[in-house]
Amino acid sequence: MTQLDAVIELPKRPNDSRTPSAASAGADASPEPRGPIHQETMKALVYRGPGLKALEEHAKPVLQAASDAIVKITKTTICGTDLHILKGDVATCAPGRILGHEGVGIVDSVGAGVTLFRPGDRVLISCISSCAKCEYCRRGMYSHCTTGGWILGNEIDGTQAEFVRTPHADTSLYPIPEGADEEALVMLSDILPTGFECGVLNGKVAPGSTVAIVGSGPIGLAALLTAQFYSPAQIIMIDVDDGRLEIARQFGATDTINSADGKAAAKVNALTAGRGVDTAIEAVGVPATFVLCQDIVGAGGVIANVGVHGQKVDLHLEGLWSKNIAITTRLVDTVTTPMLLKTVQSKKLDPARLITHRFKLDQIIDAYDTFSRAAETKALKVIIEAS
């Protein structure tokens, strides 16, 4: 067993306590909770610094603001961003943080200011917390909410636990429709809206266009599934894993390219009669894949970056300055989550196809090992059952 995979037994630490000014500005000073108020302990996956994680006994979160809810997690998952945190790529996530920003669960208790949810409600947890009041939220940029944004599993404790505190509950939780597939809905916490908003919408995918998605992991496949809303003529998936490329074909890719031989740009050029692609979606987050997107984008095209980059990348303006291209970046805002929920409910979209492995919370170290070795284990998304 490697150090990364070891379950480290450490003393319990106090509840997450991000300062009220940062986590709950504008909320009532007293949460006046409704629902269970007794203190309990829970199991949680805790980040202990680069390369270190631990399944620990931890204090159950408590309401800190009137707009908070405590949610009992039923199902959660692991994101590629969690792996970036473990590599030390996300400076805002400090050691001691409970990881995870995706999941579904049951409302355990709510603050006095919460009006849309009550204990017992089944809810989808958004990876983005939104106050719906600040300048950024009113512009639809929930990811930059001044008292929220991507804080779960980053700046405050997250969802890879038995319970989680969710700030701004009325505008950061979604009711789960009766009879919905809750495993499938876990994919709507983050990867479906991320692939759609950061890749497809930012990339201006249009009917009849040519799209290349670099990276056939969960985010790239989410972009592939949602790009088909707009009927592009060609969707080219690029990866180094033939197994994932075969899945991409099953999910609707018109062409696949294994880029391990370093000839992906030439192959895209051949597939597009020398024009390049209208949209190049970067869904990996390493320098080589961003450079590849620059090599394959055509005149007037868009490079839509989705990947989380932990190191600098090269921008080859010497070859791009005259091509009329646009480069976009974005942290998912989850503004499309209500639409995606309806699409899943109507069975026009089946995100459950992304799920390959299932674990109990007690097995979360094994789940991380499986997810981090996806090329060997054939993992896409793993479901972790917390209760």
Give how many domains the chain has, as a whole number.
Answer: 2
What's residue 60's pLDDT?
A: 96
- Check whether residue 230 and residue 323 sit in a common domain: yes
What's residue 268's pLDDT?
A: 98
- Check whether residue 317 and residue 350 sit in a common domain: no
What angle is formed at CA 141 by the lines to CA 317 and CA 134, rounded to 5 degrees? 135
Mean pLDDT, rounded, for 134-160: 98
Cβ atoms within 10 Å, residue 209: 20
Q: Is the pLDDT of residue 46 over 50?
A: yes
Mean pLDDT, rounded, for 193-219: 97
Confidence of residue 233 (pLDDT cuts 50, 70, 90): very high
Among 195, 153, 196, 190, which residue's Cα sits nearest to residue 174?
190
The verdict on residue 240 lying in a domain is: yes
- Check whether residue 273 and residue 305 sit in a common domain: yes
Residues of the domain holding 294:
192-328
d(CA 159, CA 45): 9
d(CA 233, CA 253): 10
The verdict on residue 362 lying in a domain is: yes
What's residue 38's pLDDT?
A: 61
The verdict on residue 4 lying in a domain is: no
On whether the CB atoms of residues 160 and 81 are closer than 8 A, the answer is no
Looking at 312, 328, 344, which one is the last position of a domain? 328
- Check whether residue 30 and residue 170 sit in a common domain: yes
The verdict on residue 2 lying in a domain is: no
What's residue 6's pLDDT?
A: 36
211 - beta bridge partners?
Answer: 235, 279
- Check whether residue 58 and residue 129 sit in a common domain: yes
Q: Is the pLDDT of residue 33 over 90?
A: no
Q: Is the pLDDT of residue 134 over 60?
A: yes
What's residue 325's pLDDT?
A: 98
Instruction: Please report, for the domain that includes residue 213, its CATH number.
Output: 3.40.50.720
> pLDDT tens digit string along 273-284?
999 999 999 999
- Check whether residue 339 and residue 211 sit in a common domain: no
Confidence of residue 387 (pLDDT cuts 50, 70, 90): confident
d(CA 199, CA 329): 9
Lowest-pLDDT range of 27-41, 112-126, 176-190 = 27-41
Pairing of strands 69-77, 163-166: antiparallel
Structure tokens at 145: 């909410």
DSSP per residue, 287-351: HHHHHHHHHHEEEEEEEEE-S---S-----HHHHTTTT-EEE------TTHHHHHHHHHTTS--G
d(CA 199, CA 214): 11
What's residue 32's pLDDT?
A: 54
The verdict on residue 36 lying in a domain is: yes
Cβ atoms within 10 Å, residue 226: 24
Within the chain, residue ranges assigned H as helices are 20-23, 80-86, 135-138, 169-172, 182-186, 191-194, 218-227, 242-251, 264-271, 287-296, 317-320, 337-345, 364-372, 374-377
The verdict on residue 14 lying in a domain is: no
- Check whether residue 252 and residue 322 sit in a common domain: yes
Pairing of strands 277-282, 210-214: parallel
Mean pLDDT, rounded, for 357-370: 97
What's residue 92's pLDDT?
A: 95
The verdict on residue 351 lying in a domain is: yes
DSSP-derived 3-state class of residue 286:
coil
User: For the chain, what is the mean pLDDT?
Assistant: 91
- Check whether residue 36 and residue 182 sit in a common domain: yes
Q: Is the pLDDT of residue 15 over 60?
A: no
98 - beta bridge partners?
Answer: 46
- Check whether residue 324 and residue 379 sit in a common domain: no
What's residue 86's pLDDT?
A: 95
- Check whether residue 278 and residue 141 sit in a common domain: no
- Interaxial angle between packed helices 218-227 and 242-251, expressed in degrees from 0 to 180 and rounded to the nearest 10: 20
- Check whether residue 178 and residue 282 sit in a common domain: no
Looking at 328, 356, 373, which one is the last position of a domain? 328
Mean pLDDT, rounded, for 163-190: 96
Mean pLDDT, rounded, for 351-380: 96
What's residue 112's pLDDT?
A: 97
Instruction: Please report, for the domain that includes residue 88, its CATH number.
Output: 3.90.180.10
The verdict on residue 289 lying in a domain is: yes
Looking at 307, 328, 349, which one is the last position of a domain? 328
Confidence of residue 182 (pLDDT cuts 50, 70, 90): very high
Q: Is the pLDDT of residue 99 over 70?
A: yes
- Check whether residue 184 and residue 35 sit in a common domain: yes
